[in-house]
Amino acid sequence: MTALAQLPFEQPSLLQAAPQLRALAARGTIHQIRTATGDPAWLVTGYEEVRRLLADPRLGRSHPDPGSAARTGESVLFGGPLGSYETEDADRARMRSLLQPHFAPGRMRALRPRVDVLAAGLLDGLARRDPPADLIEALAVPLPVLVICELLGVPYEDRDRFRAWTRAAADVRNRNRSEQGLADLFHYGRHLVARKREHPGNDVISRLCAAGRADDDEIAMLSMFVLFAGHETTAVAIGMGTLMLLTNPRQWQALRRDPGLVPAAVEEMLRAPGQGGGGIPRYARADLEISGVTVRAGDLILLDNGAANHDADAFPDPDRFDTTRQAASHLTFGHGARYCIGAPLARIELQTVFSQFIHRFPDMRLAVSVGELTVNTSVLTGGLTWLPVTW
């Protein structure tokens, strides 16, 4: 019997899928694999199946016996089952009903002028520097951090502390560090909620307090979850989007000539870089058939949205980065009942950044070769560790 493929698959280059993943995806849509912790799991790679299963109520994030469940890594939040098996659907519906009104598309559109000002400030700072500069440190991280701080009412000057905690919480290799990061973050959230109760502001935490639907612990938990979800992912997307454009200079120039192309280009920047080899974890809540394979209740299923985004049936010539492609049906924000609450915000941040950035730095280019770039493999969100650019 041949050994099962084990995550993480070796990726020869940042901009190419792992050959092992390609070979699996070419053979079919569901594959028996082992996770990085050596646990058995199913990896689903086809676009149609991933999309359908993301919306399938027979799959969940919780497990009836969490201690025995297969895991993807050591992170407390993302490495294994999450939440109560009995009340998962009701809990998620409650979480979404508390958060969604604050992140609705209309509200987010109203925020666009402010995001414009914050992005312009960072780009002014970049223009004043002598090149080269690290774009991750100068723009990709600070913009989403500034935006989510303002929105939630989290002091920006606390960023070094809470970033250290969110990064620790997302550590996929060290469970103690992940637990401690989460505890520190929650403690900080409790302290913020107490302050907002005394001195309310025009921000989401104060509004959650005023609404009177949740107690301090729940508000602290929700707001720290959003603080985490709201900046690391967007920072990764700005960094990878920039890299895709800088390695495709003709497309950079096309966007410069026609800023109207930016929204479509942002969708392609969200689709193209994530090559797959992991994905969104779920546990089967019942025995089910996936493409002729029987999956048992309790099994871990990884819905590989990166691989799905490179399925040639859904996106012809999927490895080509093409900013004019209709890419908005990508699964980067998930799909179905758990679709990303922050997608409208992330889209506004990305559209704002790239509209300004390309215009202000028409001759920007990479200051190192792509081979010298590295990604952060110890945290779940990944992303470039640095992106030196010159102009």
According to DSSP, the residues that pair with 284 across neighbouring strands are 59
Parallel, antiparallel or unpaired: strands 40-44 and 133-134:
unpaired
Q: What is the DSSP letter of 261?
A: G
Residues 6+ apart with CB under 8 A from 25: 45, 46, 276, 307, 310, 311
Residues 6+ apart with CB under 8 A from 137: 386
Contact status: 340 vs ligand HEM (CB under 6 A): yes
Residue whose C-alpha is closest to residue 378's, from 172, 189, 217: 172
Contact status: 126 vs ligand HEM (CB under 6 A): no
Contact status: 228 vs ligand HEM (CB under 6 A): no
154, 59 in Cβ contact below 8 A?
Answer: no
CB of residue 104 to ligand HEM, shortest distance in Å:
11
CB of residue 330 to ligand HEM, shortest distance in Å:
10
CB of residue 139 to ligand HEM, shortest distance in Å:
15
CB of residue 144 to ligand HEM, shortest distance in Å:
7
CB of residue 371 to ligand HEM, shortest distance in Å:
25
Contact status: 334 vs ligand HEM (CB under 6 A): yes
Contact status: 233 vs ligand HEM (CB under 6 A): yes
User: Following DSSP, what letter does each residue of 142-185 receive, concatenated?
Assistant: HHHHHHHHHHHT--GGGHHHHHHHHHHHTBSS-HHHHHHHHHHH
Contact status: 172 vs ligand HEM (CB under 6 A): no
Residues 342-371 that bind ligand HEM (CB under 6 A): 342, 345-346
Among all residues, whose Cβ is closest to ligand HEM?
Answer: 342
Q: What span, in angstroms and rounded, lies between the C-alpha atoms of 316 and 271?
A: 13
Q: Which is nearer to ligand HEM, 8 or 334 (by Cβ)? A: 334
Binding site for ligand HEM (CB under 6 A): 92, 96, 99, 103, 226, 229-230, 233-234, 237, 280, 332-334, 338, 340-342, 345-346
